[in-house]
Chains A and B, each alone.
Chain A
């Protein structure tokens, strides 16, 4: 399977909202509602932010939300804060396997 497609960068000012897209195919994103998103700060391990398209693990602020339409999933970060800056990766279940996106660097201006 091929990597999911994410924009290399996204940005927004504090308080604004930003949406990061993750495009796959009818075999991955389009076929399953098992989409997850991870936040990674420089030098740190990734952290689960969203799972099953739009569910948040305990402790993740409700400023983070997810959605899916067809073969594209999206992560929206509302009320941007400085600590939201980092790299974000999407993943999709693919019939027992997993595929990651190429990552998006989110910059808080």
Chain B
């Protein structure tokens, strides 16, 4: 069974840096074609792809936030970490991580998501 789960602060202050961790099981991030992606969804709004990290450590970022994002993986711990700098209230959203398969370009399964509220 493949599972992913996001963890991080529920509340963050503007201008701070957000660190989110995706802990997964049931698959290996060392397998060819496998990646883990981060996607966010502001309340009542659409999904937005943020970042991907692949088995070979290649990293890809969505164009709108690329300057503020960092993504790393710890294969031994089965974790992927996303950091987002200079938070703003508009970054309030549910943040999801999901397994990604490059050779067919799909996300499955997804974690349950974690709601991050940016407010002072």
Q: Interface residues, chain A, CB within 8 Å of chain B?
A: 1, 3, 32, 34, 36, 38, 40, 45-48, 51-52, 57, 89, 91-93, 96-103
Q: How large is the interface on B (under 10, 10 to 19, 20 to 34, 35 or more residues)?
A: 20 to 34
Known: A46-B107, A51-B104. A101 touches B112 (CB 8 A): no
Which residue of A has the minimal Cβ distance to B52?
Answer: A98
Let me know if A36 and B107 touch, CB within 8 A.
Answer: yes
Which residue of B has the minimal Cβ distance to A92?
Answer: B105
Given the complex, which residues of A lie within 8 Å of B39, measured CB to CB?
46, 100
Let me know if A91 and B105 touch, CB within 8 A.
Answer: yes
Cβ of B68 under 8 Å from chain A: no
Q: Would you list 10 pairs from A and B whose C-beta atoms are within 8 A, ordered by A residue?
A: A36-B105, A46-B107, A48-B106, A91-B49, A96-B60, A97-B49, A97-B63, A98-B52, A100-B46, A100-B49
Given the complex, which residues of B lie within 8 Å of A93, measured CB to CB?
105
Known: A51-B105, A98-B52. A45 touches B110 (CB 8 A): yes
Q: Interface residues, chain B, CB within 8 Å of chain A?
A: 37, 39, 46-49, 52, 58, 60, 62-63, 96, 98, 100, 104-113
Let me know if B96 and A45 touch, CB within 8 A.
Answer: yes
State the CA gap A98–B35 with chains docked (Å): 12
State the CA gap A45–B39 with chains docked (Å): 11
Shortest C-beta distance, B47 to chain A (Å), equals: 5
Interface hub of A34, A36, A97 (most chain B Cβ within 10 A): A97
Given the complex, which residues of B lie within 8 Å of A52, measured CB to CB?
104-106
Let me know if B110 and A103 touch, CB within 8 A.
Answer: no
Partner among A45, A57, A97 whose Cβ is within 8 Å of the Cβ of B112: A45
Known: A51-B104, A57-B108. 19 other contacts (CB 8 A): A32-B105, A38-B107, A40-B47, A45-B109, A45-B113, A46-B39, A46-B47, A46-B96, A46-B110, A47-B110, A48-B106, A91-B105, A91-B107, A92-B105, A98-B52, A98-B62, A98-B105, A100-B46, A102-B46
